[in-house]
Structure formats: C-alpha cells, structure tokens
Structure 1
Amino acid sequence: MSVGSMSIAADDIETAPAPRASWTRYGKPVLGLFVPVVLAVGWELAVRFGLSNGRLVPPPSVIYATFMELAKTGELQRHAAATMARVAAGFGLGVAAGTVLGAITGYSSLTRRLLDPTLQALRAIPSIAWVPLFILWLGIFEASKITLIAVGVFFPVYLGVMGAVISVDRKVVEVGRAFRLNGFQMVRRILLPAVLPSYVVALRSGLGLGWMFVVAAEFMGASEGLGFLLVDGQQLGKPAQIVAAIVAFAVLGKITDWLIVGATAPLLRWEDRARHTEA
C-alpha cells in the first residue's frame, strides 16, 4: 500500500466519528423534546376534532397566544424576572448554609450527633407550615419569600454534602496520608474530587425544590412573579394563563438546571464512568 493511500485511509478513520459526535451534541437534546411535542400535538388535534372542548385544559395554540399576549404587554418578562430573582437569592443562601453545615456534620461525628437529629426533624416540616411563621417574623415582603426558598434549597444540599463527606473512601484518604499531603492538599486533591459528583446532584435537587418553594413563597401576598400569575389566573378564571405560568416554570427550571450541569461539567471530566453507548 502506498503512502498516499495510507494517508487517505488515516483521514477516513479520523473523520468517521463526526456524524456520531454531531448526533451526540445536537440529536440527543432534541430527542428530549419528543414526548412533550407529541403530547402537545395530540391534545391540539383532540380539541380541533371536537374530542374535548379545551375549556379547562386549553390547547397549545391558546397557551401560545396567551404567552404572546403576556409578552407584548411586558407582564411575562416582569413576572419571570421577579421569580428568577427570588429563586437566585434563596438558592444562594440555601446552598451556602447547606454546604457549610453539611461539610461540618459530615467531617465531625460529634457535630453530626449534635445537630443532625434536629435538622432531620426540621426537614420533615411541610413547606407551607413555615409560611405563617416567616410572615410573622419577617413580614410579607421579599425577606420572608427568600427565606422560605432558602429553607427548601438547604436540606437537599445539606444531606448531599454530609452524605458525600461521610462516604469518602477511607483507602483514598490513606493514600493521601501516605503521600504526606497537608490539610489543604488533602481537601483539594482528595476530598473535593470525591465529594463533587454528589455535590452537583445535591445542587440540582436543591434547585428543583427552590422552584417548588417559590410558588408557595409567591402565594404569600406577592404582587408580581409567576406564582402571582397562577393566583391571578385562578381568581379570574383564566386556565390558559395558569397553564402558561406552569409552562414558564418548567422552561425556566430546566434552563437553570442546564446551567448548573454545564458549569460543573468541566470539573467532572476526570470521572471514569460507565456510559451507555448506542450504535
């Protein structure tokens, strides 16, 4: 075989995976839209063919028209921005508190025995039970709403960090000690990589609860926010507005989850995980 033919064969080998890489990058995310699109089209057809009147559950065309109407008046942007600001503030506070307490209780067995039973009891309290107490303590304005969201975010982050620290393999720590790593090096090179995958999962769980708790928070006399749109739609008998607000919650929640996954992906490239490959 000549050198030229060998070069062509090598080029073919190198460029062969390109369609697969393109599918992995663009096709799989689009595949996730298959189920909601099929359901939306199916419901739209059911209403158009008279199988349902679509009054209580409006078809996608009506929901889209509601979205456009709210966007033209600026209400959608205003309410979405208010909700996102509350979630961001509550998420930041909850993550900070959950990370610190989770790391302390995971590292110190004495602190864990001292604090964890109380925190586990508080975790069992329904979110709505905090509402009257926070209103009494902090008033009906933003402080009580952000605190409620922070409480929702705190517990999954706390549990995730504590469990991850407790579950660090003892053999890995002993390897670090064998290499005479100091405290800072042990944390940076051993503990953080071991804890990080579980921490990312805890952040995603906390973010999901943050979006759930913001609805309860915005029921606390809010004058703006997607939760306010829900209440307003209920009081005025506008099911399309209610569904539009629910869809907005879903879209914003998924976008923020993607942001966490994308931001933390470079930190997890070292993982040697089993991946399901498709032909």
Structure 2
Amino acid sequence: MTIETETLQPTRIANRPQRRAKRDLSRNVLLPWLSPIAILLVWWFVSAAGIVGPKVLPSPVLVVAAAWELTLNGRLPQALVASLGRVLAGTIIGVALGLAAGLLAGYYRAGQIVVDKPLQMLRAVPFNALVPLFIVAFGIGEWMKVSLIAVGVLVPIYLNTFAGVRNVDSKLVEVGLVYRAPRYLIAYKILFLGALPSILTGLRFSLAIAWIALVTSETVNANAGIGYILAQAQRFVRTDQVFLCIVIYAFLGILTDYLVRLLEGRLLAWRNTYDGR
C-alpha cells in the first residue's frame, strides 16, 4: 500500500499544471462567451416565436443572409477595408498626439497650463457638433473622417497618460534627478513606463470611441464603409442590414479590446495584480 501511494504521488503532482491550465482556459476563454451566447439565444427565441416582427427584430438567420448577400456583391469586404483603414489612421494620429500632450502636461507644470484646459473643454464637445467645423476646415473627404476619429482617440489617451504620470511616485523622479539622469531618461524610464498601465486603459477606451466616431464620420459624403451601409439600410428600411452593421461594430469592438489586452499582458507581465476569484 505504501509503495502504491508513493508511486501515484508524483503522477498527481505532475498532472496539477495540466489541470490548472484547463481550468484557466475554461475560466478565461470559454466562460466570458456564455453571456453573448445567451443573448444570441434570447434574440433567436424572440424572433422565432414572433413576439417581435421581423421588420423590427430580424432573426439571426436573416442577418446572416444579409451578410452573405453583401459579401457576394462585394459591398461588405469593401466597407470593412475602408472602415478599418480610417480607424487605424485616426487611432495612430490620436494616440501620438494624446501621448505627447499627456507626457508634456504631466511632466511640466507649464505644459499642464497650456494643454489641460483646452483638452478638458474638448472632452465635453460631442462629435456631431464638430462635424460642421471639420467640414469647413478639411472638406468632405477622407481627411475629415480620419481627423474626427483622431480627436475622439486623443482625449482619453491624454487623460489617462496625464493621470498615470501624475500618479508615479515623486521619489522615483527625485532619485533620477539626484543621480543626474538625463531628462529624456526620466521621462521614459520613470514617467512613461510608470504610467503605462493607465495609458493602456486609455487605449481601450479610445478604441471604443474610435468606432463611435467612425459611425458619425461615415454619414458625411461616404461611398464605402460600415457606417455608409448602415445609413443606406436605414434609408431603405433594411432592418436586417442595420442589425448586421450593429453586430459588426460589436465584434470589431471586442476584437480591438482583445488585442489591447494581449498587448497589456505582454508589456505588463511584471505586474502581480488581483485578477478576481
């Protein structure tokens, strides 16, 4: 009996990492999708039971059929390419400007005096109010759409960068000054890296706002894009295509958030924070 127990004990210990990996896979990958699946099932049941008519709530089958129709005629692939290009360009510009403004205002009090109040006021202005101004300034072409997305991305990145820099322990900056470290090293090694968790949180918010800004921008003189399909579907009362655009926006939002989480996991692997139980 003792020999069998001693023989089985190493096997149990060796299997523990494998069992733990399976539990982590189930908890982190599979379980979060239960609520979206439940929403999909409720949607299908309500439409199949006829509780709400197909003109108001088309079934998931009709939405998939609309996606297939738009894919066959080439409109959906063209729209995805156009929308993703606008969001990518606007996000790059907005992140670059937001990081620069946040680091400037966070590191220098003079920078805060110059930058903070205008960006705080810009935060309170809705996208619809900016569209006429941007049309006058940039015309009705692609640059207007990209600029509107960039402004939407800029503000959350700035706010989180500024807050992250100001939350860095001041003693770390004092140590850098005592050892006469160059200011660019203090700005990067201490302030930027110390603010990185807050910056990545701001990036997640910014990408969500980028998709909202995209919808607004693509209602102005657009001949391609998800927002253009949405506007055309609304005009011709194609509710199935309206729901398709909503599903695409939701999926793209989840996808971009997931990519930022992957980036966060790599850049902040050193953190040992509470992740829920």
TM-score normalized by the length of structure 2: 0.92
The Cα shift of 1:6 comes to: 5.3
**SS where residue 117 of structure 2 aligns?**
helix
In the TM superposition, 1:152-231 aligns within 5 A as: 152-176=152-176, 181-231=181-231
The Cα shift of 1:21 comes to: 1.3
Distance in 1 (CA, whole Å) between partners of 2:113 and 2:208 is 28
Paired amino acid for 1:132: P
| Offset from partner CA, 1:19-39 (integer Å, 9 cap, x none) | 231232354322222222222
Of residues 162-171 and 137-146 in structure 1, the stretch that sits farther from structure 2 once superposed is: 162-171
The Cα shift of 1:175 comes to: 4.6
Alpha carbons of 1:44 and 1:2: their partners in 2 closer, same or farther (altered >3 Å)? closer
The Cα shift of 1:189 comes to: 3.7
Aligned to 2:126: 126
Of residues 179-188 and 197-206 in structure 1, the stretch that sits farther from structure 2 once superposed is: 179-188
Distance in 2 (CA, whole Å) between partners of 1:138 and 1:215 is 18
Alpha carbons of 1:3 and 1:91: their partners in 2 closer, same or farther (altered >3 Å)? farther
1:81 aligned onto 2:81: yes
Contact 1:156–1:205, Cα closer than 8 Å, also in 2: yes
- Which 4+ residue blocks in structure 1 deviate beyond 6 angstroms? 1-5
The Cα shift of 1:89 comes to: 0.3
TM-score normalized by the length of structure 1: 0.91
1:232 aligned onto 2:201: no
Gapped runs of 5+ residues in structure 2?
none
The Cα shift of 1:110 comes to: 1.6
1:40 aligned onto 2:45: no
Distance in 2 (CA, whole Å) between partners of 1:25 and 1:244 is 30
1:21 aligned onto 2:21: yes
Contact 1:173–1:190, Cα closer than 8 Å, also in 2: yes
Aligned to 1:255: 255
| Offset from partner CA, 1:87-145 (integer Å, 9 cap, x none) | 00000000000000110011111221222112211221111111111111111110000
Q: How many residues end up aligned between the 2 structures? A: 277
Aligned to 1:63: 63
Contact 1:40–1:59, Cα closer than 8 Å, also in 2: no
Alpha carbons of 1:13 and 1:189: their partners in 2 closer, same or farther (altered >3 Å)? farther
Q: CA RMSD in A?
A: 2.2
Distance in 1 (CA, whole Å) between partners of 2:264 and 2:257 is 11
Gapped runs of 5+ residues in structure 1?
none
